[in-house]
Amino acid sequence: MDWTPLRTLTAQTAEGRTAPADPAMYLGLKNAGQFSQDGNRVAYVEIAFDALTFGGTSAATSATFAVWRKSDGRVDRVQTITIAATDAGSPSPVVVTLHGESLYVTVESFTGGTAPNIAGNVWGRPVRH
């Protein structure tokens, strides 16, 4: 399956643990990448990051991203992904397993730095696991 852009981050500051509003860039999972597991519909989604750049008055040492799922009108935080600034050039994709219709990724927090922010791209795609 092809990668779908989830977000373009431009000097993005921490968004905290508040569920995002209903952004247009949720990755829809209704018809792709869903497989039955114990009678339930399960999606395996690979999330990748590229062109990450840590910024701010002084850059953070890491960023934590929150993965949110949307299901039946609810938005729930299901997983976090932490990327060290030293790995920003080539972070490994992460596979997330979830029950839901769609997902979204936010910048939850930073470790260290003064007025930290991050730029780069977040991608997603359903995968067979």
Contact 63, 107 (CB under 8 A): yes
Task: Establish if 58 belongs to a structural domain.
Answer: yes
How many structural domains compose the chain? 1
Task: Establish if 129 belongs to a structural domain.
Answer: no
Task: Establish if 21 belongs to a structural domain.
Answer: yes
Task: Establish if 45 belongs to a structural domain.
Answer: yes
- pLDDT band of residue 1 (cuts 50, 70, 90) is low
Q: Which domain holds residue 75?
A: 4-124
Q: Nearest Cα to 121, choosing from 4, 3, 5?
A: 5
Per-residue pLDDT reduced to its tens digit, 103-122 = 889 999 999 999 999 999 99
Task: Tell me the C-alpha to C-alpha distance, in Å, between residue 37 and each of 32, 97, 98, 122, 129.
Answer: 15, 11, 11, 27, 11
pTM for the full model?
0.86
Quickly list DSSP for 22-71. --TT-EE-SSSSEEEETTEEEEEEEEEEEEEEEESSB--SEEEEEEEEEE
Per-residue pLDDT reduced to its tens digit, 28-61 = 665 445 444 554 556 778 899 999 999 999 999 9
